[in-house]
Chains A and B, each alone.
Chain A
């Protein structure tokens, strides 16, 4: 179908992505930083779906599926790290996690 303009979706995706970037930069609560990362994932997904619709090509849909999977894995591991940090000390502060050695 011609006449589909993906620009508004791309602009909206950019706005959402940079809200997520701002969240990661400005917040220091690790949970909210992780949620900001999820926001960025979803902004990328929105752009992918919009362009996929514009090109009428389902490669973007498959890519969104893969991104969702990677986001799930990332959230699980990051939350596990948060739980592990919280067991060491009740102070969950990303500034104090300067030494993350194996």
Chain B
């Protein structure tokens, strides 16, 4: 009989081996799924994972990779910080939307003015928008002990109705011939988040993502706050004896993750999306949850995971235009990846033992 046995200490090998194994398993099962759908599995997998990097149009698609990875990394790093401390901010999508709305509002309020301070102020406003939206569940959690998972998630739906209102009334383009959606930032240079290096797909969002990864890594490994976050997650009782203030921790983690999600929203709306529309948000806030786990809640791992997830987006789009693969198939693929990751992760803390009756009797 096969049974699970707890390891005395978590396996370092499996800690790093889990993500690649999960990706491999997802490719295999995903390939079977694609075959059932009547596609050539090898061709689909190659289109998603190989062509964007080394294929015919790689020079363009590689740039797209950074465009998609930027917001994912930025949001996931913030989420991972909370997840490590056992604080579950699930509403990053809402904070992302609110960051975009508040940031864009600041820019649009001073519309034709040209000043080089406009964009930095918008960035601050975007971070503030996300931070403020995340403070609602944080304060309800610390003040009233309300479940932050449910509150932050409910606020996603509230943010979506505010977004609908923004794009049809208070941020609507007055010269937009009645179409919903705000002014396009590409025609407003002072507030535009353009590409810094043409062809690389690097805009300020990408820069922010990479810088944040390094900063948060330092925070986690070298700063007392990072130590407290890790302690609170791994040994809540010990954390209490150590004098970790749970209220401060919740406010800190939720605040950072909200501000980062808000930043991601602002960079997206002023850059790749271009304008506030009713559906400019594409679920990055939810996909970032997968990225956070795939990166093992480690900022540097998350950078790699963000690029991998961006690959599935870019490659998935390729597969849908070239091979007629439905866009939803990529979503299934991403969900599956998280399942395998969580499943394989058992090997980090447990090992499988083949045991006959005699061995069990001997052990007892």
A-B complex is real: no
